[in-house]
C-alpha cells in the first residue's frame, strides 16, 4: 500500500471509505488490520523516538488525524486532502461491524465511562453485537487477553491513551482472534458524553 512519509513517519493517503474497503478485503483474506491515528504531535515525538516510529510504521493504517498532516501533504504534493479522525473512523468501523455482523470488544477507560459509551453505541447501532468489554484499569493483562479470546471478538477498540494502547495491541495481537484493532484514545469518553 502506498504511504506518504513525514519526517520518517508513514501516513496512509486514504479516505474513511477507502480504509473500510481495504479492511473488508483484509478480513476476507484472514489478515489482521491495525489502525493508528497520526497527528503532528505524534510525528514530532516519533522523530526522536525510534520505537514509537516503528510502532506507527508497523501499523496497517496510519490515518491522517490532524489538519497539520493534511497541510504537510498539500505542501509536498501529496494526495491527502481531508482529515481522517480516530473517533469518526471508529464510527465507520462500528457501522461495518453492524452491517457484517462482526463482534466488537471494547477495552479501556473507567468502568462508568465504558458502560455509558456502550449504551450510547447500542442506541446508535441497534444491531451491533458487543462481545464483551473490560475497563482500562485492570492490571492483569493475561486476564484481559483471556477475556477477549473467549469473547471471540472480530473487532477490538483499545482506549488506554497513546502509545500505551498501540503497544498493548502489538504485544497481544498474535494471540487474539481479532481481525481489526483500533487504538481510540479518549473516544470512549466522547461516546459517554
Residues that bind ligand UDP (CB under 6 A): 108-110, 113, 136-137, 159-162, 185-186, 188-189
Q: Which residues, 6 or more positions from 6, have their beta carbon under 8 angstroms from its beta carbon? A: 43, 69, 72, 73
In the complex, minimum distance from the CB of residue 182 to ligand UDP, in angstroms, rounded to a whole number: 12
**DSSP 3-state assignment of 157?**
strand
48: its cell numbers: 526522536
Nearer to ligand UDP, 27 or 61 (CB): 61
Residues pairing with 134 in the sheet: 107
Residue 63 neighbours by CB distance under 10 Å: 26
Phi-psi region of 108 (alpha: psi -120 to 50; beta: other; left: phi over 0): left
Closer of 98 and 189 to ligand UDP (Cβ) = 189
Cell numbers found for residue 59: 501499523
Residue with CB nearest ligand UDP? 136
Q: Which residues pair with 38 in a beta bridge?
A: 64
Residue 21 or 137: the one with the smaller Cβ distance to ligand UDP is 137
The 10 Å Cβ neighbour count of residue 17 is 9
Instruction: Name the residue nearer to ligand UDP (CB basis): 4 or 166.
Output: 166
Nearest CB to ligand UDP, comparing residues 13 and 163: 163
Q: How far is the CB of 2 from ligand UDP (least distance, A)?
A: 27
Determine the Cα–Cα distance for residues 91 and 182; give it in Å rounded to an integer: 11
**Taking a C-beta distance cutoff of 8 angstroms, is the pair 153, 131 a contact?**
yes
In this structure, what C-alpha cell is assigned to residue 110?
473507567
| For ligand UDP, the closer CB: 37 or 102 | 37
Amino acid at each position: 500500500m502506498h504511504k506518504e512519509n513525514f519526517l520518517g513517519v508513514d501516513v496512509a493517503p486514504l479516505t474513511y471509505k477507502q480504509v473500510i474497503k481495504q479492511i473488508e478485503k483484509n478480513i476476507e483474506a484472514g489478515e489482521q488490520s491495525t489502525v493508528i491515528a497520526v497527528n503532528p504531535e505524534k510525528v514530532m515525538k516519533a522523530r526522536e523516538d525510534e520505537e514509537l516510529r516503528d510502532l506507527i510504521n508497523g501499523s496497517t493504517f496510519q490515518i491522517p488525524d490532524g489538519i497539520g498532516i493534511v497541510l504537510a501533504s498539500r505542501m509536498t504534493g501529496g494526495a491527502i486532502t481531508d482529515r481522517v479522525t480516530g473517533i469518526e473512523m471508529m464510527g465507520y468501523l462500528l457501522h461495518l461491524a453492524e452491517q457484517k455482523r462482526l463482534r466488537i470488544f471494547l477495552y479501556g477507560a473507567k468502568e462508568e465511562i465504558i458502560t455509558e459509551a456502550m449504551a450510547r453505541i447500542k442506541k446508535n447501532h441497534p444491531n451491533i453485537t458487543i462481545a464483551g468489554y473490560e475497563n482500562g484499569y485492570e492490571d492483569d493483562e493475561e486476564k484481559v487477553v483471556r477475556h477477549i479470546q473467549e469473547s471471540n471478538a472480530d473487532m477490538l477498540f483499545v482506549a488506554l491513551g497513546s502509545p500505551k494502547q498501540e503497544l498493548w495491541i502489538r504485544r497481544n495481537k498474535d494471540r487474539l482472534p481479532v481481525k481489526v484493532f483500533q487504538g481510540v484514545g479518549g473516544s470512549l469518553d466522547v461516546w459517554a458524553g
